[in-house]
Amino acid sequence: MKNIFFIIDKPLHGNIQTQEFIDIALMAAAFDQRVLMLFEGDGVYALLQQQTPEAIGLKNSSPLLKALSVYDINDVFVEAESMRERGLSSEQFVIEVNVCPRAELKQQQETADQLFSF
């Protein structure tokens, strides 16, 4: 089993990249790998509630984040510094997350077998 780290550092909407990226994470979990997800930088915006991309004719991939737990992806982290820089708090998020400082997340990443971003 490999430790695979998925790093989302871009917002969710406007293109299909994030949705396709999450598909890889779900598949890795379905292949019994240990999946860790990290939201950092502008990626933390992806977690905001009340996203209505239907307003611009796009499918809402926000509910997809709730499906992470269906595939036993429970190690979901958000970088504390990125949240602070953007004035966000975890009550505003659609899913429960572990808020961690950057330095600690760096140590976690060093133990990964594979790091993915997009």
Partner 1 sequence: MLPLDVLARDEYGFLADSGQWNEAVAEALAAEDGLQLTPAHWEIIQFMRAYYAEYQHQPNARLFGQAIKKSLGADKGGSLYLYRLFPDGPLKYANKYAGLPIPPSCI
Partner 2 sequence: MKISIQINASPYQHQAADSAWHFIQAALVAGHQIYRVFFYHDGIYNALRDSRPPGDERDIVKRWSALQAEHGIDLVVCVSSAQRRGLLEQSVARKVGGYEAALADGFRIAGLGLLMEAIIDADRHICFGS
Partner 3 sequence: MLYIINKSHTDNLALSKCLQTASATDVVLLIEHAVYAALELSQSPLTAMAGSAVTVYALSPDMQARGVQQAACLDFIQYVDYAGFVELVAANQPIRSCF
Query: What residue 61 binds from partner 1, partner 2, partner 3, none (CB within 5 to 8 A, per partner kind)?
Result: partner 1
Going from the C-alpha of 77 to that of each of 43, 55, 57, 104, 105, the distances in angstroms are 11, 29, 30, 11, 8
Q: Which of 9, 13, 33, 74 binds partner 2 (CB under 8 A)?
A: 33
Contact string 81-100 vs partner 1 (x = CB under 8 A):
--------------------
Could you tell me the end-to-end alpha-carbon distance of the chain, in angstroms, rounded to an integer?
23
Q: Exposed (0-12), middle (13-18) or buried (19+): which is 18, by Cβ within 10 Å? A: buried
Closest approach, Cβ 63 to partner 1, in A, equals 5
Interface residues with partner 1 (CB under 8 A) are 23, 26-27, 29-31, 59-61, 63-64, 66-67, 70-72
